[in-house]
Amino acid sequence: METLEQIKGRITAIIPGARVDLIPNECPSNQPSLLIDQEHGVRIAEFLRDDPQLRLDYLSNVTGVDWPDTIVKEKVKVMKLVEGVETEVHGVVERKKQGYLEVVYHIYSIAHKHGPVIVRLRTNDRNVAVHLPSLTPIWRSAEFQEREIYDLYGVIFDGHPDLRRILMWDGFEGHPMRKDYVEPDDYEYEPTPHDEVLERARSHQARNAVL
């Protein structure tokens, strides 16, 4: 199979305007991936599936990832008066790196018996611009897995044929796999709280009594 660098080059050559970045992976699995842009996501997926050399015709799994906002510290050099002399000193500045939601697709070729090729799509943020194109029209096996990510992470898949909750009930508030999700003091299926849930309930009741 071609390298990801070669696949990236062919995508950008064939699909005008497509943006593809090679994302390294420092884990022991050493599986780098391709980050593709939202606007050309479906067209790129079609290429990966239909290209005679690739024939990536089987989507094995789809995973959601939540990347919250982070504070990044950067070292900078600044000029500062030291004992009346302007001197270059090292300083640290902090900047906020906006978080996003990510969806990761693992794709194989049954026809050519190779893979996986790992493809990523990212939202613009975690709150408002959480739309991504659905790849279910390209690989039908994405249908339930995209629904699961919609349910647990809140990603809205445009073009999905049946986008609705699959694990949580209608009316459930929030997305349990978000890293900032706060569990309730009690659960609908747990009318009598106990153990950790009981402690949270007591703490919550005490705060309400003070207020």
Q: Determine the average pLDDT of the residues in 10-15.
A: 97
**Residue 195: predicted pLDDT:** 79
Band of residue 83 on the pLDDT scale cut at 50, 70, 90: confident
Domain boundaries, the chain: 4-67+101-163
Q: Token pair of 175, please?
A: 């997305």
What pLDDT digit, counting tens, does each position of 29-67 carry? 889 999 999 999 999 999 999 999 999 999 999 999 999
Strands 20-23 and 100-109, how do they pair? unpaired
Is the per-residue pLDDT at 188 higher than 60?
no
**Residue 178: predicted pLDDT:** 96
Q: Higher model confidence: residue 1 or residue 130?
A: 130
**Residue 154: predicted pLDDT:** 97
Reported CATH class of domain 4-67+101-163: alpha beta
**Residue 151: predicted pLDDT:** 97
> What's the CA gap between 132 and 158, in Å, rounded?
6
Q: Token pair of 54, please?
A: 């690739």
Is the per-residue pLDDT at 208 higher than 90?
no
**Cα-Cα-Cα-Cα dihedral of 35, 162, 116, 8, to 10°?**
-30
Band of residue 207 on the pLDDT scale cut at 50, 70, 90: low
Q: Which of 71, 131, 120 is nearest to 95 (CA)?
A: 71
What pLDDT digit, counting tens, does each position of 104-153 carry? 999 999 999 999 999 999 999 999 999 999 999 999 999 999 999 999 99
How many of the other CB atoms lie within 10 Å of CB of 26?
7
